[in-house]
Amino acid sequence: MKIRLALLFLIISSLYLHADEGMWIPLLLEKYTITDMQEKGFKLSAEDIYSINQASLKDAIVVFGRGCTGEVVSDEGLLFTNHHCGYGYIQSHSSVEKDYLKNGFWAMDRSMELPNENISATFLIRIEDVTKAVLEGLEKDANEKEIQKLIQANINNLVENATAESHYRAVVKPFYYGNEYYMFVYEVFNDVRLVGAPPEAIGNYGKDFDNWMWPRHTGDFSVFRIYADDKNQPADYSPDNVPYKPKKYLPISIKGIEENDFTMVMGYPGSTTQFYTSDAVELYVNKSYPKKIALRDQRLNIMDSFMKEDDNVRIQYAAKFRRISNAWKKWQGIIMGVNKTSAIEIKIEEEKKFTEWVNEDASRNEKYGTVLDDLKKQYADLEKYIHVYDYAGEALMTNELMSFVVSLNSFILRNEDKSIDDKIRARDEFITYTESFFKDYYMPIDVNIYSAMLQSFKKDIHSDFHPDLYGKIQKKFKNDFDKYAEATYSHSKFVDLNSVLEMLKHYPQNENKLFKSVTKDALFADYQSILSVYSNSVNKQYHEINDEINKNYKIYVKALREMNEGKSTMYPDANFTMRVAYGEVEGYNPIDAVNYDFETHLSGIIEKYKKGFEDYIIPEKLLELYNNKDFGKYADAEGDMPVCFVASNHTSGGNSGSPVLNAEGELIGLNFDRNWEGTMSDIYYDKSICRNIVVDVRYVLFVIDKFAGAGYLIEEMELVDF
């Protein structure tokens, strides 16, 4: 695609100049962005956002679970996050008799709030720049292994000192590919209970048809509560625990929004790769992603066919299906966005500018002259292995029962030298895991997927990388993959919950016998066959090349920052640490002659509902509220019920559930998605089309109050309507 040079220059020159693009470290707002934020309408200070001396907005934001964000909205520890972030926990409490996914769940008093296993709410205590301490003692002529060993030792000392004699946890993370390091100190609460969740027809309205799309009409929220001991300290679940008293909670604005209003997102974006070169984008977007999409197509189609036939299977696989389909559709959006914005061509031009800058100075040329050529060669080397690596992860290693058998083997080996009492304790924990696994396991799905994935791997991957199990399939089964998969499962001793529990009941007395059963199982044999090729011919080579790539990115990013010094500030890639992003409420123009408004309404839900699609079913109560125009104090000035809006905040995975705040620091919505074209913002951000999608907090409150009848929760919150 040809791009007009004037336009291209404008895009390139603005790439690092817009402060409202990016994900900023809260500690550095005063230094880099607060002035620009205030010029755009923000009415608070950097200290109001992040402070270690007083309560600040950071004290109301949590890491929710393992990969989302949440926010505290009352002085009784009430917490909002997305429905899809709470989905697995909602599903774990669900059954055909109590289908909380389909019908929703609401605790009408605190005694009804449901405890959850393996869930936490993690508060940030402080951030510290520890670059100097991490790099202390490094010798210029040290090899990479020595460098990493010393860096890790320094990090361990920092973490140990930061958490000594406290219940805090700490982590040190590299920024700018190791040019800087920051330490994050956290307080973790493990008693987090489910308070409420709308039915899936609200919380996941539009389902996969609307996922990553705009216009959107999804009430993507769920409600939890953090509990603490009687001293307001973290504690494991106990009926004696009490609601947590936060340092800060967010006031909630029901004033409404207007186009061009200032917006700010605080949360934990997971991962971005904005410094990728054109060769990297070409490899992933045009070669890796399309193949992974095709593999997930097969898996999703198989799961969907069984889920439609049986409600129990639908509940069992709901969370798994959603997890698989999320990245599947996102990759498609990235491809679309990169092509639409000509991101690869833009990066090529940017690299030409970089090369010109390097060649202007002899000392620069000595330090940086070969870095782009080195990266180009390394990505060419990586291509040989990336498809095998992808297919192992997306095809052969997706077998659920195989993963369980491998986990059982690891459990035995991990505990073989422990005392009898420790083995019994470990067994009881594994029994809990086993029951959880089989609760959401349906063997026919697993068998069909295994057959399909074995066939795809054989067809698409060069025979040099084929595990020896393919010889067995050819010799004994005449390449009939369906028969092979069925035979493999039918001979396994681990397909039935009761049989597995019976074996575990006699552990550790039967330890050797159990170990032999595992290692002789056909699925474990397949795993060993796959692992042999993967470990010896793929994994080591793939990671060695990636290590070299990352070393060169450290040099490249250092050079880019030097090139832009005094012109602009380059924000670091997301790495699941707290960041601040800001922008404004605004629609966008995705394609020629199409202009999207910035907000949607309940009337749009009704319009979609009338089309009769399965993904657009709505509860009768919601339809009744709409027909009666019973929106309470949550309607907009025109009397309609707002549902979602879009803004130009730079977000990523991990920002799900993040609070979206107005200029006064009040909650106006919950971030839950991006527009399809804008998913490429992980690689390349273009403000003209990149949008984050937000459920309007007025719709959240409306559903809690008018739909669920849980108005007592509203009374806990601080609502601002002026």
* Active centre residues (catalytic): 84, 220, 656
Is the dihedral angle over the CA atoms 323, 325, 328, 329 positive or is it negative?
Answer: negative
450 sits in which H/E element: helix 443-460
Residues 456 and 295 sit within 8 Å (Cβ to Cβ):
yes
Question: Phi then psi for 136, rounded to 5 degrees?
Answer: -65, 135
154 sits in which H/E element: helix 144-163
Cβ-proximal residues to 264 (8 Å cutoff; 6+ apart), any chain: 37, 42, 580, 581, 582, 649, 660, 661, 662, 665
Radius of gyration of the chain (CA): 27
Nearest to 523 by CA among 575, 487, 549, 498: 487
How far, in whole angstroms, is CA 582 from its chain's centroid? 20
Lookup: tokens for 201: 């027809």
Q: What are 174's strand-pairing partners?
A: 181
Euclidean distance between CA atoms 427 and 431, whole angstroms: 6
Give the chain's length: 722
Question: Phi then psi for 43, rounded to 5 degrees?
Answer: -105, 0
Lookup: tokens for 564: 């832009």
Is the dihedral angle over the CA atoms 333, 336, 340, 346 positive or is it negative?
Answer: positive
Helices 620-627 & 602-609 angle (0-180, nearest 10): 120
Lookup: tokens for 495: 């397909």
Cβ-proximal residues to 115 (8 Å cutoff; 6+ apart), any chain: 191, 193, 237
Burial 366-400 (b: 16+ CB within 10 A, else e): eebeebbebbeebbebbeebbbbbbbbebbbbbbb
Question: Phi then psi for 137, rounded to 5 degrees?
Answer: 90, 0
